[in-house]
Chain A
Amino acid sequence: MARLFIGNHIAQSGLAFLLPSSVLAHLSIIDIIIITSYFVMVVWIGFYLKGQSNTGLDFFMAGRQMSAWIAGLSFLSANLGSLELMGWAGSAYQYGILAAHWYWIGAIPAMLFMGLVMMPFYYICKTNSVPGYLKLRFGESSRVLSGVCFAFMTILMSGVNMFAMALVMKVVLGWNISFSILMSSLVVALYVGLGGLRSAIFNEVLQFALIWCGALLVPILGLIEAGGWHNLQAKILMNYHTSEYTHLWKGLGQFNTNAMGVQWTGIVFGLGFVISFGYWTTDFLVVQRAMAAKNLRAAQMAPIIAAAFKMAIHFFVILPGLLGLVVLHNNDGTLMHLVGQDAVSTANPNSYNEVLPLMMERYLSPGLLGLGITALIAGFMSGMAGNVSAFSTVWTYDIYKPLIKKNGTDSHYVSVGRWATVLGIVVSIGTAYLVMQAAGIMDYVQALFSFFIAPLLGTVLAGMFWKRATKAAGFWGLLVGTVTSVALYAWVRVDPTALRYVAFSSDAKAMAADLYRALWAFSSCALVTVIVSYCSKPKPLSELAGLVYGATTLPHQERMPLLKNHWFWAAIVITVFFVLNIVFY
């Protein structure tokens, strides 16, 4: 989901925020060795895995051989790009701990629902993609509509990741933007083109290890400097005269009692239900990782393992942002004030989004700094690779195969997948330069992405849990939901005062608009799906086996010992989730 609103905050400032700053960090020889060896290793892995990706199953689904741990870490890492790390650290500096909602209520319930309830349907129908599921349930038209939208969004996101990485490298290290774009695209094209999804998953797991090692030290040292959590809270209160920064729910009673300009209804229903469930259960980028698991049990455990780590990521994304409020000082000893991009000036030269690199530069000595930068690079490249591998699959199976060549051989489709990877990278490069020319595009890209996810949730849920939903209803629900979202977005762009109707309050801010627009899109999709279903003829029950709850006999799973039971681990995760929300209330 975070890919969805990955720093809305970054989006609103159009990424150009990074351009004017001076170089933040200087690398030593040991840092350069660490960064270079990472590039060498991922390319070598791509060549090594080439021989393992000769069939469609291998190339697009990694042979369905992944253990629960590999699939789970990959499931999480596909979402954990550096754009996300830097964006949410910046959001935490700007909005305080409210940003953690995107890691907790905006992720955990949906991930558990995905593992426990939805995964069996994706897994046993043996489809290659989420649009592929729609084809089985609602027919070709829904599949093609969903596939085209997804391919379009995915490739745009890959380009945005590429551009964001290039900008970060420019700001942090002073690297040339074109050099960074070409370097990263070449490396990603090599290892995804050669090794397919298997290679992408491998590098995502590698990235996961690097992010923990490279980023976790920052909050540890930051908390030592701040004197622990309670001292951090006290210092924030002393410096900013508000407790809003360190409370998750306290300020959400009204739109105007928190910096985000959202109310609890938006967080619970907009974020916690529509956006979160939309992203974590229907976005093929992440679903593909779980579908690559070696059996149903591993596929169900994957999102649960990912959920456990997702809760912990808060500590090295949100915490550095909060620490930045207290420990960052100017050379003259005064407290540093990071600002929005539009307010960057000589007096305040750094924006919110630079808080993570600033914290890295503050604490990380040579070697550790190289590791931190490598973690960011790995995150960006994983973001690109994840998008490109998902694009390649959807392009090949959901666009090329039904529309262009229906009866090709398996090796033909693998070849198409490899070329789609290269094509995806080339288009991404174009997108990256397009974003560079018109920074505001990032905002549109985020919005375009949100147009698709919320209605897709309505369609998939109706398809999976309502036997009466018909073929026509699936298509029209998806289309009307998407059009509703686009129309609401355009309405607010043309007339900003319309936000009071879209988000139900004149005090609502941009973040609230995203949350409530998602609710509208989902609701309109659901409404149209229900109406059209009752006006059209449903499929016979026999055709819904393996696709719909109530018409499917789930495969018998052997009774597992408690420590291997996915319901047990889901219960642990949801308990920790509630405890965290109470502790940081």
Chain B
Amino acid sequence: MQISGKISIWFFIGVLLAFYGALIFGSGIYELVTGILPNVVLARLHAPVWWGGMMLALGLFYCIRFVPGKKQTN
């Protein structure tokens, strides 16, 4: 759905996912670099790095795919 003919719902979702992904990915990288692991189970798997990275990539994809002004198909 286009909102006001300008912004797609998916663009908003992309922005939010990219923002959250960047924050989580950044905190994961910090943990990785400093070696200070949070007190959670399986912290050695560095979930924030790959999960945050995945969210960031997905968010950026939606941002680019549904950037305002670009003709949408849905």
Query: Which residues of A come within 8 Å of B, CB atoms?
Result: 30, 33-34, 37-38, 41, 45, 48-49, 51-52, 65-67, 69-70, 198, 202, 205-206, 209-210, 213, 217, 221, 224-225, 327, 361-368, 371
Contacts and interface: CB of A to CB of B under 8 A. Distances in A.
18 contacts: A37-B19, A37-B20, A48-B4, A48-B7, A65-B1, A70-B9, A205-B9, A209-B13, A210-B16, A224-B42, A224-B45, A361-B40, A363-B47, A366-B27, A367-B24, A367-B27, A367-B28, A367-B48
B1 A70 contact: yes
A365 B47 contact: yes
Given A37-B16, A45-B12, A362-B41, 4 more contacts: A206-B12, A213-B55, A365-B48, A371-B20
B74 A69 contact: yes
Given A67-B1, A67-B74, A225 B48 contact: no
B74 A368 contact: no
B55 A41 contact: no
Contact of A365 (B16, B27, B55, B74): B27
A374 to B, nearest CB: 8
Contacts of B3: 48-49, 52, 198, 202
Given A67-B1, A209-B16, A367 B9 contact: no
Nearest to B19: A37
A366 B17 CA distance: 16
A66 B28 CA distance: 37
Interface in B1-56: 1, 3-4, 7, 9, 12-13, 16-17, 19-20, 23-24, 27-28, 31, 38, 40-43, 45, 47-48, 51-52, 55
A368 B47 contact: yes
Interface residues of B, number: 28
Of A69, A205, A221, A365, the most chain B CB neighbours within 10 A belong to A365
Chain B contact residues, majority secondary structure: helix
Contacts of B7: 48
Contact of B1 (A45, A66, A224): A66
A161 to B, nearest CB: 22
A202 B9 contact: yes
Contact of A368 (B4, B13, B19, B51): B51
A213 B12 CA distance: 15
A69 B10 CA distance: 11
Nearest to B73: A67
Of A37, A52, A368, the most chain B CB neighbours within 10 A belong to A368
Contacts of A65: 1
Contacts of A366: 27, 38
Contacts of B41: 221, 225, 327, 362-363
Given A51-B4, A363-B40, A371 B24 contact: yes
B51 to A, nearest CB: 6
A213 B17 contact: yes
B45 A221 contact: yes
Nearest to B54: A213
Nearest to A202: B9
Nearest to A51: B4
Contacts of B42: 221, 224-225, 363
A34 B23 contact: yes
B36 to A, nearest CB: 11
B12 A41 contact: yes
Nearest to B21: A213
Nearest to B27: A367
A320 to B, nearest CB: 13
Contact of B40 (A37, A48, A69, A365): A365
B40 A362 contact: yes
